[in-house]
Amino acid sequence: MLTRLHIRNYAIINELDVKFDRGLTIITGETGAGKSILIGALSLVLGKRADSSVLYKEGEKCMVEAFFNVTNYDLKPFFSENDLDFENPTILRREINANGKSRAFINDTPVNLAQLKELATSLIDIHSQHEVLTLKSADFRTRFLDSCADGGIQIKTYRNVFSEWNALRQEANTLKEALRKAAQDEDYLKFQLSELEELNLKEGELLENQDKLSMLENAEEISGTLSQVSDTLLNSEDALVDGLRKLESELQRLANKYPTAVDWANRIKQNVIDLEDVAEEMSQKVGSIEQDPAELGRLAERVDEIIRLMTKHRKQSEAELIQYQFELDDKLSSISNSDEQLTLLNGRLEKIESLLQVEADKLSKLRAKEAKRIAPILTTELQQLGMPDAQMSILVDKGERNVNGQDRIEILFTANKGQKAQDISKVASGGELSRLMLSTKSEMASKAQLPAIIFDEIDTGVSGHVADKMGGKIKELSSSMQVLCITHLPQIASKANQHLFVYKEEKGGRTTTGVRELDKTDRIVEIAKMLSNANPTEAALTHAKNLVNEK
């Protein structure tokens, strides 16, 4: 149960500390005093999104703490799974900084909002004053039936399978689309790969072929030059080698007179040997370099083809072009493998879809069974809440399969004898919806075995003896769980075990919200004001006293 709520710097609350008792806590106060702000603050600590606009004082941090007695609610597994300390009381805290960033804590350990919300759903349910409209939504109807049937176990099982099926379906669709696009490109990829495979390129080949091509294109000039240089060195009348030999001989003769000349002679001799080798090699090359039109054409064609493909594929080297060939081969192999992968994926999808259908059918049967069980109970409760001729039924028909199952759920209702039941969204008034919401919420809360539930003006649209009956129903519910109820009706307020009064006051030139607990005397006066006006008559005070004593 909720034992304490501490609020600082939120909305029009500077600082507030409220303690709560067991049973039924009634919260009253004038319109605009801040009753719903208390619920807003509590919603914040239960995981609601917020920003800096909630700050009472700009530039200061907002903090909300909720203290819960969690004894006997089997919550230890949650703490263990999330590596949190289990403590009693358990404290949920939310902080909002001036820049709008928030932090969440469970027992002083930082947590994310998902963890905070998960724990919160096991601690308390808040019914907002506009939630009666959700009775018209398909989501609430399925959630109501599932909660009452088995506490939501089967819908969780179904959603787990649905999630797996949906993920596989999306994966298969993505792969299909990829294959479709790949199939469009496959012929072109094959053509590109065929070109490169036919080229059979070797790294370094381009430069080698360009050198050969250059030699063949200039064969006549190269041969002539080599022949001329070779003759100049060895065979001409003024051959350089002959002249050097003579110079060597002269230096050798000088050696007896000038020893250093020997070194120079030997160096010239070595150069002569090198020049003779050069001349011989040139002479041999002259015979091997010949114009070969066929080879010239082949090399030119080869070089042109390599350069063409490098340009076509925007590659800067043979290595890049060869790597691209490997990539093309991998892409084509991937297309082939993807076909096999899609076949396997479709097989898995078919199996999981069969399992999904089994779970959907189980869910439908469970809902149909629960609808048959719960409709008479709700009908009886509505009759007890001031609608003696009320009739209600819940129909579960097959609809389009989605994350909530395959069922279309209708709640048919009539408050008048002899009138055909129709969907509640068409025939139920505000007061009738309020009473139906109270009944459904009571059933859901009792099935979920929640520690606490909050009703924020669930009595909208009712008055008189109907309000008294709703108060009795709320009081009955508080015997098995903690109930907090914001109300403007004295008939409901009189049922309280604890009565909190919310008021506005001015402090330091600013309006702020305060809360005080009323004793029995103050309660009687407050209820008398709700019955009449700010200055209650003796009759109103007597009536209020009777209401309080009748609780």
> What are the tens digits of pLDDT across the range 171-211?
888 888 877 777 777 777 878 888 888 888 888 888 888 87
Q: Residue 231: pLDDT band by 50, 70, 90 thresholds?
A: confident
> What would the DSSP string read from start to end of 103-144?
EEEETTEEE-HHHHHHHHTTTEEEE-TTGGGGGGSHHHHHHH
Express each pLDDT in 35-51 by its tens digit: 888 888 998 998 888 77
Average pLDDT over residues 55-80: 88
| Average pLDDT taken over every residue of the chain | 86
Confidence at residue 108, expressed as pLDDT on a 0 to 100 scale? 93
Q: Residue 166: pLDDT band by 50, 70, 90 thresholds?
A: very high
Percent of the chain beyond pLDDT 90? 29
What distances in angstroms separate CA 283 from CA 31, 119, 211, 213, 217, one per listed residue? 116, 97, 20, 21, 20
Q: Among residues 52, 71, 75, which one has the least CA distance to residue 1?
A: 71
Distance separating the N- and C-terminal Cα atoms of the chain:
22
- Judge whether 446 and 374 are in contact, CB under 8 Å: no
Statement: residue 432 has pLDDT above 70: yes
Confidence at residue 165, expressed as pLDDT on a 0 to 100 scale? 94
Tell me how far apart the alpha carbons of residues 78 and 166 are, in angstroms, rounded to a whole number.
27
Tell me how far apart the alpha carbons of residues 450 and 98 are, in angstroms, rounded to a whole number.
34
Confidence at residue 6, expressed as pLDDT on a 0 to 100 scale? 96
Q: Where in the sequence of the chain do the CATH 3.40.50.300 domains occur? A: 1-123+450-518
Confidence at residue 287, expressed as pLDDT on a 0 to 100 scale? 65
**What token pair was written down for 151?**
């506490």
Q: Which long-range contacts (CB under 8 A, 24 or more apart) does 513-518 make?
A: 513/11, 513/12, 513/13, 513/16, 513/33, 513/34, 513/37, 514/16, 515/16, 515/18, 515/38, 517/19
Confidence at residue 90, expressed as pLDDT on a 0 to 100 scale? 94
Q: Classify burial at 70, counting beta carbons within 10 Å of its beta carbon; exposed 0-12, middle 13-18, buried 19 or more.
A: buried
b/e sequence 43-61, b meaning 16+ C-beta within 10 Å: bbbbbbebeeebbbeeeee
Statement: residue 134 has pLDDT above 70: no
Torsions phi, psi for 166 (to 5 deg):
-65, -40
Instruction: Give CATH superfamily name and number for 1-123+450-518.
Output: P-loop containing nucleotide triphosphate hydrolases (3.40.50.300)
Confidence at residue 132, expressed as pLDDT on a 0 to 100 scale? 55
Tell me how far apart the alpha carbons of residues 282 and 229 are, in angstroms, rounded to a whole number.
8
